[in-house]
Amino acid sequence: MAVNRFTLTLTALLLVACTSPPEKPAAGAALPPCGPLPNCVNSENGRDGSAVDAIQASPQQWQALKSWIAMQENWTITADDGNFVQAVTTTPLMRYRDDVMLRFDGKNNVIHVRSSSRLGIGDMGANRARVEQLREQVRLERDES
């Protein structure tokens, strides 16, 4: 009896915590905000624990980052509209699918980023780590130029 309640509770929590990919914003519009769960970070309109800094980048670094993403075996680009990229990443161990949105603001030379998990109430820091990985990749490109 206790096992059945636990299973039902766990199933209900997982169903509530499942999300679908975020919808692509209109051209030039801000990235969609994170939801109420702590499984997302956003540089454009993140609040409290979901806020993360945008990535400083030149147009050349933006292009280099897009090329780097396209070469990653666990990333799949689902949209590339010049100054906007949407991708799905797959975590190595559990094969969870996470969503990443990047919007290059050429006027301010920044890349706004949103990274969110589709499954789970939390992300154990995976989305923030992913943003830092992207930031490091841009920094490496800066050092090589």
59: CATH: 3.30.310
pLDDT at 12: 45
The answer for residues whose C-beta is within 8 angstroms of residue 88's C-beta and 6 or more apart is: 21, 75, 76, 78, 97, 98, 99, 100
| pTM for this entry | 0.83
For the stretch 78-122, pLDDT in tens is: 999 999 999 999 988 778 899 999 999 999 999 999 999 998 888
Q: How many domains does the chain have?
A: 1
What is the domain extent for residue 127? 2-144
